[in-house]
Structure 1
């Protein structure tokens, strides 16, 4: 059973992707443009956004810093001036490996500001317009790192867990008003963020493969879009383990 209205025809739809200068966000913008959507791309890096627009006629660049609520609101106003938004996706993210034995408070808070507070800034800016229309879809890019606590994920994991919980609450509040809500939980995707990892990443996929999986999830009307399933299904099973089994298993599997 579809939990959301399926989105299969992108022609004529207006889509705003925040965090679209690199990685999954850029690949998703490219994919949706190819399917006929009018794509609005946002991120801090104006040069990368302008390069995207030059390569994808009809798209629009709205540079912003997601940690600046005023800037996000101004960008939302500009985006909505062109017409209603059919889908808004928060793809922005920050990641640095961190353990409690080497805690960096500034970077801990940077994760919170970008990964969590930035999403709240965007939701606050666009949700009233979607509610007034009674139509549209909100999507948050989280991660399997938000499923359970993991080594080296002291800063990143809690922010992604927050997005999963946030998406669940949004769905309960907004679905009765005709809005779609989805949470995207990728495994390992080859992006500038994961390039810093020094360990072998299981089931690593490309940003283009991630974009294909996301669009397929929206076409199915899914709430929880997770991929690649050969990896994410294992991670979901780990959520069911009691702590007395989970902690030793993770230590053995990671060596940490």
Structure 2
């Protein structure tokens, strides 16, 4: 059975984590492709600025502030969006943080790890919980969740962030079949390094670093294509896919070399 690939004629797009970075760039790219995009983040002023950038595009962006860590707020927001703008045909659940969770020689930072999981895992689930039943009732919809190539395998200095993204890859893999049975396309987005505010503070070399506009085009093309995994850049993707099959002694020896460089 072919899974649906939603179009602007099917309803509106909803993007969380849309105030900056990949979320903002994808919102503009989808508006360029004719979508009405409902953009969500905590900062309403940033969302309104993003909406103004879409004024001369074929589609448009409308701002709806919300905090993905608040389950009741997300449920109310989905209800409001659908009442005001029509059915959410495409949901890009992109909100995420990259809080440092490790100090060299000092274990990990519990508070930072909890904050990372609150947004990157529970924030996604609290956004998914109201939108998935609405699509199920209609028997049609498309959902994409932002994870990361870092979620493929444990990397030095990324214990909590990588684990949170690995959790979302696993979650989407597990839920894909159930969604398909209900006529819903579920996808996972696994970016590598992209020029965003999240990567600005990285004090190490980022291989195959991509401009955010190029990343947004890859995401939008992947949404239109409908395949399970949307991933970029491909060279880094295949390197990390290869790393997943290395035996532990070889993998940990390689990671010791990586750790010395960061």
TM-score, reference length from structure 1: 0.94
Name the structure 2 match of 1:74: 76
Name the structure 1 match of 2:211: 206
CA shift for structure 1 position 56: 1.8
Shift in alpha-carbon separation, 1:121–1:254, aligned structure 2, 3 A: same
In 2: Cα distance, 1:75 partner to 1:141 partner: 20
Match of 1:115 among 112, 117, 120: 120
| 1:219-238 → structure 2 map (5 Å cutoff) | 219-238=224-243
Name the structure 1 match of 2:90: 87
In 1: Cα distance, 2:135 partner to 2:17 partner: 20
Name the structure 1 match of 2:43: 45
Name the structure 1 match of 2:135: 130
Q: Please, which runs of 5 or more residues in structure 1 have no aligned partner?
A: none
Name the structure 2 match of 1:64: 66
Q: Is the 8 A contact 2:14 2:88 kept in 1?
A: yes
CA shift for structure 1 position 207: 1.2
Q: Is the 8 A contact 1:3 1:222 kept in 2?
A: no
Aligned residues: 254
Which secondary structure state, in structure 2, belongs to the residue aligned with residue 202 of structure 1?
A: coil
Q: Deviations over 1:138-194 (max 9, x none)?
A: 110000111111111022011100110111122121101110000000000111111
CA shift for structure 1 position 98: 2.7
Q: Deviations over 1:3-48 (max 9, x none)?
A: 74345x5466410001000000000000000100010000001100
In 1: Cα distance, 2:135 partner to 2:124 partner: 16
In 1: Cα distance, 2:35 partner to 2:213 partner: 17
User: What is the Cα-based RMSD across aligned positions, in Å?
Assistant: 1.7
Name the structure 2 match of 1:19: 17
Name the structure 1 match of 2:102: 99
Q: Please, which runs of 5 or more residues in structure 2 have no aligned partner?
A: none
In 2: Cα distance, 1:121 partner to 1:29 partner: 21
TM-score, reference length from structure 2: 0.92
Q: Deviations over 1:57-98 (max 9, x none)?
A: 442211011111111111111111121111001111110233
In 1: Cα distance, 2:11 partner to 2:179 partner: 20
